[in-house]
């Protein structure tokens, strides 16, 4: 059978939602942790607090939502058949949740036993997820650059998790490994190869769709992913190349590539046909502006060593990447995907369409833009707190509040889904 | 030129009309909104019927697939017609919230429908119907609108 005939194989709504609903609360934990710890926590990238914060966001917020979104996106956008999505999601999601909490506790309290326990759980959860998703991505007959970006992203996720597991086991058992280099490589594959590659691949598809922009130019989509992959491989070779200039030589083109993606996305949105501004387009603009700021700051870090010598500088870069780029972009995506999935699944119940409320009834637009303003304030405070430690507690509170509001908006959407579903079913019984 | 190229072009045309109607109604410019929306409904209807009366039957006859992708596309046309009717009612009662919510929903539905057609169904049609005169008929019908 031609696989493209199974157009309509989106998973049950609970599959993406169980990931989406969990994610914001990890952001809340991160905010509370920062508010609790205060400004000294941000003194360098190696403090237990910063390591814990980073992984709360990277694994709890980003990886959760990205896994959930892939279950939805792969069948719909690239026609891939994910094997038993409900079973896989019901297994992977709790494992991932538990592994994240163990890892974060291990990093925060410097408990090697917890770290060592977290690693096999990650390998199991993400290993299983990677295999199932990779099978779907390599078997689909579809073509196109979104598909290739997804393939490269899922490979990068595997590399990131393997490197991470290697590092925690080395720490737990006191093995001697080049931990600084490994951490830099782990970070590059996680942020660049997985998160950015996935964001780019999804952008090729959703940016024109949500805002009626022109498509990304063919030359761009053709070269962005492969170049990113190549530069990440070059970055990884710092393990082998014994030349202090090597990271600089790789980092500058990498940052340039990142800014071309951000600039291109902003330009497409600026010249879009649709004139309406909504929460999603604002989230995307915030994410892309943060990405440009990240690229400029990163270049400064490498070119002006006296500035880069301050250990807080890397924390600044981390705030831009995690809170500024990815939390913003993911929030924007969820604000579009969740109302649409609510609508789609409700109208599939067979009720007359007029009885299904439209997308704006699922999450009120004011609730989304309000949360977004608080998120923007939180990002500004987080960035300021890197240099003004006195602001750290306030920044933590603001970030926790913003993530809680996001979580509340999503919970509200799910409750509305349930209410409307019950109403439609009850009405059906009367006929 | 592929036989579905006119449909592909017409999707972009409908996108323009959608953006114009949505913008006018969001600004409370109801007079302009009514004109723009009527044009959108007219062009979408022309598009749907061109596919349902010309392309899909030809594809089904050529491949024997009657319950596959064309059936799903017909179902989505139905959903879009229902949404347009809801938007029409909102426009008549000058309810910009209801119109905006309908427009938001229509946009996503329409875009993902277009992508399925452009990426999967149209290439299948081009393969199955390359030698037929369906392309000329489609071009004529869309031009006449």
- pLDDT for residue A343 is more than 80: yes
| Total tally of structural domains belonging to chain B | 1
Contacts A142 to B, Cβ<8 Å: 119-120
CA A138 to chain centre: 22
Closest B-chain CA to A213: B15
Q: To the nearest whole number, what is the mean pLDDT of chain A?
A: 93
CATH code at position B136: 1.20.120.520
CA B135 to chain A, closest CA, distance in angstroms equals 23
Segment B100-140, tens digit of pLDDT: 999 999 999 999 899 888 888 898 899 888 878 888 899 99
**Percent of the residues in chain A that have a pLDDT greater than 70, as a whole number:** 97
Residue with tokens 């934990």: A29
Does A359 contact B120 at a Cβ distance shorter than 8 Å? Answer: no
Q: Which residues contact A389 (CB under 8 A, 6 or more apart)?
A: A38, A39, A40, A42, A43
Does A340 contact B108 at a Cβ distance shorter than 8 Å? Answer: yes
Segment A14-72, tens digit of pLDDT: 999 999 999 999 999 999 999 999 989 999 999 999 999 999 999 999 999 999 999 99
Domain that holds residue B45: 5-144
CA B33 to chain A, closest CA, distance in angstroms equals 14
Query: How many residues would you count in chain A?
Result: 431
Contacts B104 to A, Cβ<8 Å: 278, 339, 358-360
Alpha-carbon distance of A227 to A372, in angstroms, equals 33
The interface predicted TM-score (ipTM) is 0.89
Are the beta carbons of A68 and A18 closer than 8 angstroms? Answer: yes
Does B68 contact A79 at a Cβ distance shorter than 8 Å? Answer: no
Alpha-carbon distance of A405 to A409, in angstroms, equals 6
Q: What is the pLDDT along chain B (145 residues), one digit of tens a residue?
A: 688 999 999 999 999 999 999 999 988 899 999 999 999 999 999 999 999 999 999 999 998 888 888 998 999 999 999 999 999 999 999 998 999 999 999 999 999 899 888 888 898 899 888 878 888 899 998 988 7
Q: How many A-B residue pairs are in contact by the CB < 8 A criterion?
A: 80
Closest B-chain CA to A144: B119
Domains of chain A (ranges; CATH) run 3-348+355-422 (1.20.210.10)
Segment A53-65, tens digit of pLDDT: 999 999 999 999 9
């Amino acid at each position: 059978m031609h696989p493209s005939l199974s157009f309509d194989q989106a998973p049950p709504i609970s599959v993406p939602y169980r990931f989406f609903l969990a994610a914001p609360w990890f952001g809340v934990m991160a905010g509370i942790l920062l508010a609790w710890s205060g400004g000294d926590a941000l003194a360098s990238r190696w403090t237990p607090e910063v390591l814990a914060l980073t992984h709360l966001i990277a694994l709890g917020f980003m990886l959760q939502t990205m896994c959930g979104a892939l279950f939805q996106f792969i069948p719909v956008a690239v026609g891939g058949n994910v094997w038993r999505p409900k079973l896989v999601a019901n297994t992977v999601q709790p494992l991932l949740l538990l592994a994240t909490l163990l890892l974060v506790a291990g990093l925060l309290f410097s408990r090697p036993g917890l770290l060592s326990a977290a690693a096999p759980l990650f390998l199991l959860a993400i290993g299983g997820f990677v295999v199932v998703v990779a099978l779907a991505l390599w078997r689909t007959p579809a073509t196109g650059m979104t598909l290739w970006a997804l393939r490269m992203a899922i490979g990068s996720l595997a590399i990131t998790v393997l490197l991470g597991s290697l590092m925690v086991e080395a720490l737990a058992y006191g093995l001697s490994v080049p931990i600084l280099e490994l951490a830099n490589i782990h970070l590059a594959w996680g942020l660049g190869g997985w998160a950015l590659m996935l964001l780019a691949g999804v952008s090729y598809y959703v940016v024109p769709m949500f805002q009626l922009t022109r498509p990304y130019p063919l030359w761009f989509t053709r070269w962005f992913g492969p170049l990113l992959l190549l530069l990440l491989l070059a970055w990884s070779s710092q393990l082998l190349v014994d030349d202090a200039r090597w990271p600089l030589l790789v980092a500058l083109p990498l940052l340039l590539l990142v800014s071309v993606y951000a600039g291109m996305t902003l330009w497409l949105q600026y010249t879009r046909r649709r004139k309406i501004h909504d929460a999603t387009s604002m989230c995307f603009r915030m994410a892309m502006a943060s990405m440009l700021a990240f690229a400029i700051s990163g270049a400064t870090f490498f070119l002006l060593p006296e500035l880069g010598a301050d250990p807080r500088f890397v924390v600044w870069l981390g705030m831009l990447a995690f809170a500024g780029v990815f939390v913003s972009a993911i929030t924007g995506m969820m604000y579009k995907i969740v109302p649409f999935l609510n609508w789609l699944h409700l109208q599939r119940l067979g009720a007359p369409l007029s009885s299904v409320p439209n997308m704006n009834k699922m999450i009120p637009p004011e609730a989304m833009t309000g949360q977004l303003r608080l998120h923007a304030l939180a990002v500004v405070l987080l960035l300021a707190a890197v240099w003004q430690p006195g602001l750290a507690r306030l920044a933590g509170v603001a970030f926790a509040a913003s993530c809680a509001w996001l979580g509340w908006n999503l919970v509200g959407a799910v409750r509305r889904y349930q209410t409307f579903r019950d109403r439609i079913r009850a009405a059906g019984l009367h006929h | 030129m592929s036989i579905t190229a006119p449909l592909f072009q017409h999707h972009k045309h409908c996108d323009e009309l959608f953006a114009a109607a949505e913008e006018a109604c969001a600004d409370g410019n109801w007079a302009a909104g009514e004109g723009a929306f009527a044009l959108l409904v007219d062009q979408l209807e022309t598009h749907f019927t061109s596919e349902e009366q010309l392309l899909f039957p030809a594809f089904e006859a050529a491949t024997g697939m009657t319950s596959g992708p064309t059936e799903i596309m017909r179902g989505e046309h139905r959903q879009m017609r229902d949404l347009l009717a809801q938007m029409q009612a909102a426009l008549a009662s000058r309810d910009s919230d209801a119109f905006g919510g309908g427009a938001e929903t229509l946009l996503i539905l329409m875009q993902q429908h277009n992508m399925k057609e452009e990426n999967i169904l149209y290439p299948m049609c081009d393969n199955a119907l390359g030698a037929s005169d369906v392309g000329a008929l489609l071009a004529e019908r869309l031009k006449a609108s």
